[in-house]
Amino acid sequence: MTPTETAEAVKDEFGFIVSRQLVNQYNPDCNQKLPQKWKKLFEKTRSEFTGSVAEIGISHQAYRLSELHEMAKRAKAMRNYQLAAQLLEQAAKERGGQYTNKQKIQITAIEEKKKKLAEILRLAPEALPSKKAS
């Protein structure tokens, strides 16, 4: 959650109005002077939250693919071929990593690597430093 979202959640849950700056003061990543007591509580709460995410089925690719498979089967059985096709496309994108923020780069030639790096950095390949001979 962002500090703004946290401030809104505090208002909704407890009826207190707090600023996002106040919320940010309790984040050890933003406040080096935060007492150890609050750092420990923050880390414990963050750890519990991130651990609980693993228990949520939809956070796992296998679960999402299984659900998409079932939905595509039902759509096809209802002769809704357009929906079935959309679900199959979504499953293919899911499996291909389209819904992640990872970039897979598999290039063998040095020039191709340099070209791909320049593309990622939005530079001309000539702008990249050349490899120095040792």
- Per residue in 3-58, pLDDT (tens digit) is 888 889 888 888 889 998 988 888 888 888 889 998 999 889 888 877 777 778 88
Question: What six digits make up the tokens of 94?
Answer: 């899911």
**The pLDDT of residue 107 is above 70:** no
CB 28 within 8 A of CB 34: yes
In this predicted structure, the answer to whether residue 132 has a pLDDT above a threshold of 60 is no
Structural contact between residues 75 and 49, judged by C-beta atoms closer than 8 angstroms: no
pLDDT score for 134:
46
> Cβ of 68: how many Cβ atoms within 10 Å?
19
Question: What's the pLDDT score for residue 49?
Answer: 78
Per-residue confidence band for 72, with pLDDT thresholds at 50, 70 and 90: very high
How much is the average pLDDT of 49-75? Answer: 86
Work out the pLDDT band at 103, boundaries 50, 70, 90: low
- Render pLDDT for 79-95 as a digit per residue (tens, 0 to 9): 999 999 999 999 998 88
8 Å CB contact between 114 and 125: yes
Q: What angle do CA 41, 43, 44 make, to 5 degrees?
A: 65
Alpha carbon distance 79, 95 (integer Å): 25
Q: What residues does each domain of the chain span?
A: 3-55, 58-124
CA distances from 75 to 18, 71, 88, 121 (A): 48, 6, 11, 42
